[in-house]
Amino acid sequence: METVLLLGVIQGAITGLGLLFYAGRKNGSHWLALGVLALSLTLLRLWTHAAGLEAHGLLRRLPLSFDLAIFPLFYLYALSLTAASAASIRRAFAWLLPWTIFIGYSVLVYAAAIGESGVPQMDAVAGRWHYWQFKRIEDYLTIGINTVLAGLIWSRVSRYYARIEHWLPERFADLLRLLKTVMALALVTAVVNLVSFSAEHLLGLGDRGVFSHAAQAFYVVLVYTVGIVGFRLKDLPQFPEATTEPAPPALPARPDPGTDDAFQKLQALMQTTQLFADPDLNLNTVAQRLGLTATETSRVIKEGSGKHFRAYVNEFRVEAVKRKLLDPDYRSVSVLAISLECGFNAESSFYRVFKAATGLSPTDFRQRP
């Protein structure tokens, strides 16, 4: 187990520093990097314990307890990734306060005991500081905070996913699926923590039992997985929340004049500038052209066309493809080339969207009388 933990420490250090220097602050990657580094330091503490190094005076109760910081840092990452407001992120710093208190206390105990001549004397100093009672409080507080924050991360990311899943081009489908991975990792990690904690503290199985070893192996895998997710999600487009959400109309019989004007402007943009031909077109781009927020633009499209953003854009693309498939000047141009020219960027999604709209494959549509 010592080798596995040491590999986790090394992997965590490489992943955390890589995220910090390569991804920077994009989509809150720096918070994820710090969370991975905190997890790596926790694995380092577990490794010194498993390897029996705590019998050495300098390593006795070395203040490497970052357990309380891991989930607060992951929560800050989830908020930044989902374009939370600056005020929400500032409020989330309160979750780091318990870790700050306990790490400060651990440093004081370590400093007080470091000058003693032997391990028994160091343990006696720790006893006078009520170290074990504080450590037990820290353990219970860690499992409580982790469980609460796992739920908050799941809730935050799931709501953001539901809001933006139709606002992005098809090529971001893999990144959207990774948002679900973030949700799953938060919940699974919380469950693993809870099971390991219950086995050690409530069932009295100790920290060297099968549950503890399984949890430690999971943390090593988690370091690697989180790194991959973080490197990928740094490129996910963000859609900040509107400061005020427009209230839905009481009677939907007549559209709001402002909404209707914005939709007509959008229709003109699509037809005259062929915005739809941009394969990377997303809701933020359209919103900037209309001078609206992403949320307002989504509402304009929904009320004006009855469709979500991606379906609305694909409708223009399909019509453009149909015209070119029947155009004699395009007779020698392949179906795939036409689809790319009209804004589709994946062959599989093009065929699926085209057949859903026309009931025919592109080839059959071109060959019909």
101: Cβ contacts below 8 Å, ≥ 6 apart: none
Cβ atoms of residues 317 and 358 within 8 Å:
no
DSSP label of 306: S
Q: Please report where in the chains the tokens 């991959």 appear, as a residue.
A: 228
In this prediction the pTM is 0.79
DSSP label of 166: T
Angstrom distance (rounded) from CA 338 to CA 343: 9
Angstrom distance (rounded) from CA 249 to CA 257: 12
Give me the amino acid identity at 11. Q
Instruction: Please report how the helices 67-81 and 97-113 are oriented relative to each other, as an axis angle in degrees rounded to 10.
Output: 150
Q: Which domains, from first to last, does the chain contain?
A: 2-233 (1.20.1070), 257-367 (1.10.10.60)
Neighbours of 81 (CB within 10 A): 25
Angstrom distance (rounded) from CA 352 to CA 33: 38
At 348 the pLDDT is: 81
Q: Which two tokens stand for residue 205?
A: 């199985």
Cβ atoms of residues 300 and 259 within 8 Å:
yes
Q: Which two tokens stand for residue 347?
A: 């062959």
Residuewise pLDDT in 10s, the chain (369 residues):
788 888 888 988 999 999 888 888 888 999 999 999 999 998 888 888 777 777 777 777 778 788 899 999 999 999 999 989 889 999 999 999 999 999 999 999 888 888 787 888 888 988 899 988 998 898 889 989 999 999 999 999 998 988 888 887 777 778 888 888 888 888 888 888 888 777 776 666 555 556 677 878 888 888 888 888 888 888 888 877 654 444 444 444 444 556 788 888 888 888 888 888 888 888 888 888 888 888 888 889 988 888 888 899 999 999 999 999 988 888 888 998 999 899 888 888 888 899 999 998 998 888 886
97: Cβ contacts below 8 Å, ≥ 6 apart: none
Cβ atoms of residues 343 and 277 within 8 Å:
yes
